[in-house]
Structure 1
């Protein structure tokens, strides 16, 4: 692939990042109640009464902290400060530690459950904010949350992490992350975002206990989560790692391919790096099975009955751009770079909202937008597509060094 193609792609990623962050700056800031609105519709109208979720607020903090680190724009840092202040003032549980799952529109406690997925995103965001600001409060909170996860969620017998707890860190009957998930003790999704968070924290706090946890998480993926024959991720498990699902999630496959390799690199272990580079390629190849005729990534497939969920959600496309680019960097196989560019071309043509900005939540099989879903909300955040732009900018620049 010639240099001009990469230069053009870099320019596109830079422009897209600016467009995305401008949208979030312009439409999501809640001037009345503080922080950011909990929900924005596809007409860019805020629901001022919507609850505010931990995942959304942590991902906003991560994204604007990361954007400031990359581009040093004061406006990005201001929004990172705003997100940090809101997260620490309204989501942090000063009585029991960790972070609430949600607050109401005015910032009062709504759901105090300790979902480990959410705790992981708080760590991920606090570590990134610390990189941008060197604020010791952010690092101390990230460390404290890591210790709470290890104390309450880590399964010392069978390894891995349990899903959820009450506000007081007691066992809870319904451990589901969302209504669409199965109520199982362990999930791929939580483990993926715990290792993502721990890797980011390890970059600023090279603690031996943290290092051991990352190493163990990588082993969990190798031994239990990544299927040994077809290299798709297995999604739900009981205490003993017995698989409880037959679904394939193509977006998670391609996302995990580069995140796990990133974790292996953080540990600076050559054997582990080689192993996870190979797995990254195998998982990227497995993800290709989910591509539609125009190069976009379908949502899910059930291996038990052959049923496809032929929806094209925003986040798998963002992760595919990074994951296929990573596979190209590892292998030199040009088709992976072509897949990255094809996904981006698809996003431009179909997933970007040409009138109101940002990306639609997703598309139906006929490529019509899923207009009933949020433009911003409990799950629709700037993290996947914003991070994809930043990650690709950094990777392209690294090829020039």
Structure 2
């Protein structure tokens, strides 16, 4: 028993220190002192791409990260960085004419992609609600609430339920609604719905509104009845408007991320029926990821398409797997899940964490080598998955 306790205490000490180290990296290495805000891209060697566009996803995730860090430990430095992100988003990404958040701006802050992804509006809610908790700035709560009503009024599908992927700057349909070139061009996706229920849950923590609660319940039902395959316990990725499945990919990271976030949503709204359903499903989903997606060293593969596994190990997949396994351990009290979380952390320390340059590599290959050409800071490479996984795991295990 003492050996188990020592292993757990070491794990907790290490992940808390790593959380602080990642925050330090972003605070010290990513501030754009020339153009304001934050740098748009830094490669694995620390070289800055000074011409790359800045994305709203990166900036809202930075706002959430430093707001949540302040909320946890009350370090004024974190609140200052969060304010920098908040001010930059409102100045450059916010559409003051039509409402909502643009997708990308150039280094000078000029809009270069004015599409309005539902995903981006969701991350705006996530970030603004967390910053309101940290700063008590009423503007931030107002923006979060306004984005909630915008998603409900502009993106919600009243016929089949759920939300469409994207609209133009003035709320007209788009022929290409993809988040990225990797995605299928379909009107609905699991990923976007996950990152709508996630911010709705965070907003509910500071704004207990009945319409918001009902929308969270509706999303839980959509995930349970439409997105989750009840036979395989895997989340399907892309859909037509009527929820016809349009993909055969399996995303191990999204599976385990969804499992814990959906359980968390049910807990936050205190709905016993959905807590039981989602926690039961979470255990099955986690077991499926362990069976199908884990390598012999305990790390988690990226995805499987047409039966072929992509054996790269992405930073965010390892991060979400750690917190997903910790959450499943808390549900079941079965120590095998905690042991696997610690095993992934050992893999991250040895392979994903950049001990010399700081932060985590985007991904490593099957042999554990960083993939050439990846960035450490970028449109999608952010401090949100790993800092959240570390502090959420620490907080759950310290209770």
Q: Deviations over 1:17-61 (max 9, x none)?
A: 111011111110001100001101111122122110000000000
Q: What is aligned with 1:82?
A: 84
| Inter-partner Cα distance in structure 2 for 1:206 and 1:98 | 22
Stretches of structure 1 lacking an aligned partner (at least 5 in a row): none
| Inter-partner Cα distance in structure 2 for 1:60 and 1:389 | 16
| Inter-partner Cα distance in structure 1 for 2:19 and 2:271 | 33
1:163-242 correspondence to structure 2 within 5 Å: 163-242=165-244
Tell whether 2:382 aligns with 1:381: yes
Which moved further from structure 2: 236-245 or 385-394? Answer: 385-394
When normalised by structure 2's length, the TM-score is 0.98
Q: What is aligned with 1:266?
A: 268
On the 8 A contact 1:360/1:371 being kept in 2, the answer is no
CA shift, 1:245, in A, is: 0.5
After superposing on structure 2, the runs of 4+ consecutive aligned residues of structure 1 that deviate more than 3 Å are none
Secondary structure of the structure 2 residue equivalent to 1:384: helix
Secondary structure of the structure 2 residue equivalent to 1:375: strand
Stretches of structure 2 lacking an aligned partner (at least 5 in a row): none
Secondary structure of the structure 2 residue equivalent to 1:308: strand
Q: What is aligned with 2:338?
A: 337
Q: What is aligned with 1:363?
A: 364
RMSD: 0.9
CA shift, 1:153, in A, is: 0.5
Secondary structure of the structure 2 residue equivalent to 1:105: coil
Q: What is aligned with 1:22?
A: 24
| Inter-partner Cα distance in structure 2 for 1:254 and 1:306 | 19
| Inter-partner Cα distance in structure 2 for 1:264 and 1:392 | 18
Q: Deviations over 1:118-141 (max 9, x none)?
A: 110010000000110111000000
| Inter-partner Cα distance in structure 1 for 2:352 and 2:209 | 41
| Inter-partner Cα distance in structure 1 for 2:171 and 2:10 | 50
Match of 1:71 among 73, 83, 99: 73
| Inter-partner Cα distance in structure 2 for 1:4 and 1:31 | 43
| Inter-partner Cα distance in structure 1 for 2:159 and 2:205 | 28
CA shift, 1:267, in A, is: 1.5
1:322-333 correspondence to structure 2 within 5 Å: 322-333=323-334
CA shift, 1:331, in A, is: 0.7
On the 8 A contact 1:28/1:46 being kept in 2, the answer is no
When normalised by structure 1's length, the TM-score is 0.97
Q: Deviations over 1:281-340 (max 9, x none)?
A: 1111111120001000100112xx321111111000000000001111111111101110
**How many residues are paired up?**
396
